[in-house]
Amino acid sequence: MNPINQSNYIKEVATQYGFDYCGIAQAEQLDDDARRLEKWLLKGMHGKMQYMENHFDLRIDPQKLLPGAKSVITFLYNYFPSAQQEQHTPKIAKYAWGKDYHEVIRGKLRLMLDELKSTLGDFTGRGFVDSAPVLERSWALKSGLGWIGKNGNIINKQQGSFFFIATLIVDIELSYDAPYAKDFCGSCTKCIDACPTEAIEPNKVVNGSKCISYFTIELKDALIPDEMKGTFNNWMFGCDVCQDVCPWNRFSKPHQEKDFTPIPAILHMKNTEWMQLTEMEFGRIFKDSPLKRSKFSGIQRNLQFIKLNN
C-alpha cells in the first residue's frame, strides 16, 4: 500500500476497535510545546506532581520514545455516559464511572497493532494511554482532531470533549492530516467562570495545583489544604465542571463501550454509605476502577473534607 492507502486502512481498523476519531501527524519535536511546558513547570503549576518534571525530553520528541519514529497516530475514544449520578451522591468525574480506561484502551491498542502489522508488514510501534510522557493533546491538535479549549481539553467540533486520548507512535511514513487551525471557543469564558477553584487562567493555562482533580487524585498528603474549604461542591474524585458547562458538549453522545458501564455504587451510594464502606468492600467494588488510584485512604480523606467543608 502507498501512504494514503495505509493511513485510510489504519483509520478503518481504528473504527472497528471502537475509536471515534483517528488522525495522523508527522513525528517531530514539539518545540513550542516545550517552551509552554517549561514555563508552566517553572511557575509550579504542577503542584506536588513531581513526575511532570521527569523525562522532559521524552515529552517533546517522539523519537526519544521510539527511535526512528516517523508518524504519530492519535485516537479519541468517547466516554460520555447515558446515565447520571443521583442527587446527594459524592460527585465522581465521568471518566471514572466504569473500568479503568488504561486497561481497556491499552488492550485495544495491542490488538490493533498486531492487526496492522499483519496487513501493512512488520514495523515498530508503541502505544500510549495517559501512561507515558506523551503530550497527547498537542498531537490530537496536530492530527486535526480538534482544538485545545480554554480548559486545556481537546474539543472536537462534532462531539465535544468527553474523550480519552490514545497515541500510537510508529516508524513508517504515512499520509498526514492537516493540523486543526481554528479555535472555536471564541470569546466564551464559561469554563473559566465556572471553575470552583479558579484554576483556569487566561491564554489556555490551567493551574494544576489549584484543580479539584489534583487535590482529590494526585495529592497524596494526609490532609487537603484549608484554603480549599468550601470550593469542592461535593466533588470526591476528579471534577467535570469545566466540561459540563462547555457549550460544545451539548453535542456529546453516549458511548457504546460496555466496559465503561457505570459501577452502580457510583451512581447511587450516598455520602453516609461511602463513609461506612470498609477497605475490603472498597477493594471488591472498585477493583477494576480508576478510583483505586486514590486508594481507600485517599477516598476517605476526600469524603471527610467535603463532609466538613461543603
Q: Residues with catalytic annotation? A: 130
User: Exposure of 88 by Cβ count < 10 A (0-12 exposed, 13-18 middle, 19+ buried)?
Assistant: exposed
Output the CA–CA distances (angstroms, integers) from residue 252 to 37, 45, 246, 295, in the order listed. 29, 30, 11, 30
Cα-flanking dihedrals φ and ψ of residue 286, to 5°? -115, 30
The cell 465521568 sits on which residue?
A: 94
Yes or no: say if 91 and 236 are a contact pair by the CB < 8 Å rule: yes
Q: Exposed/middle/buried for 126, CB within 10 Å: 0-12, 13-18, 19+?
A: middle
Eight-state DSSP code of residue 175: P
Which residues touch 216 (CB under 8 Å, ≥6 apart)?
Answer: 232, 235, 236, 237, 238, 239, 294, 298, 302
The dihedral sign for the CA sequence 249, 271, 308, 46: negative
Rounded to 5 degrees, what are φ and ψ at 190? -55, -45
3-class secondary-structure state, position 96? helix
CB atoms within 10 A of CB 122: 7
Please tell me what DSSP assigns to residue 135.
-
